[in-house]
């Protein structure tokens, strides 16, 4: 499946990006674990199922810190646009609930 897309933040530059059939199906993830080195940010996406004591990483994305910062900005911008169109996103199991499973930064206080 070929689906040309215009990357955000590339004014005047057109890149033809192909999206294969397998990749177009997507991968569902409800857990992200993030680590870093001096040169890379590593994001592991996993799917945790209720009642299952273990999970498996479905995808690993490795990028430079600069690209991770750009991704953060693009996600923030898109979430603002989403909420403007569909309303506030409600997050269950947030910091106040005591839940430690989901998309959150690891506790760095210990």
Per-residue pLDDT tens over the stretch 28-43: 999 999 999 999 999 9
Question: Is residue 110 over pLDDT 50?
Answer: no
Q: Are strands 31-36 and 57-63 parallel, antiparallel or unpaired?
A: unpaired
**b or e along 19-52 (b: 16 or more beta carbons within 10 Å of the residue's beta carbon)?**
eeeeeeeeeebebeeeeeeeeebebbbbeeeeee
> What is the value of pTM for the model shown?
0.70
Classify residue 33: in a domain, yes or no: yes
Give mean pLDDT, residues 14-34.
95
Classify residue 44: in a domain, yes or no: yes
Nearest CA to 40 out of 63, 61, 60 is that of 63
Classify residue 93: in a domain, yes or no: no
- Range(s) of the domain holding residue 34: 27-88
DSSP class per residue in 35-63: EE-SS-EEEEEE---TT-S---EEEEEEE
Residue-wise pLDDT tens digits, 39-95:
999 999 999 999 999 999 999 999 999 999 999 999 999 999 999 999 999 988 765
């Amino acid at each position: 499946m070929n689906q040309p897309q215009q990357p955000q933040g590339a004014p005047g530059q057109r890149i033809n990006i192909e999206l294969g059939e397998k990749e177009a199906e997507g991968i569902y993830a409800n857990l992200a674990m993030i680590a870093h080195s001096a040169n890379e940010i590593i994001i592991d996406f996993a799917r945790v199922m209720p009642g299952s004591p273990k999970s498996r990483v479905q995808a690993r994305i490795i990028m430079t810190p600069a690209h991770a910062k750009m991704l953060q900005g693009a996600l923030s911008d898109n979430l603002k646009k989403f909420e403007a169109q569909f309303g506030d996103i409600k997050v269950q199991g947030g910091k106040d609930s005591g839940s430690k499973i989901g998309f959150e930064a690891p506790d760095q206080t210990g």
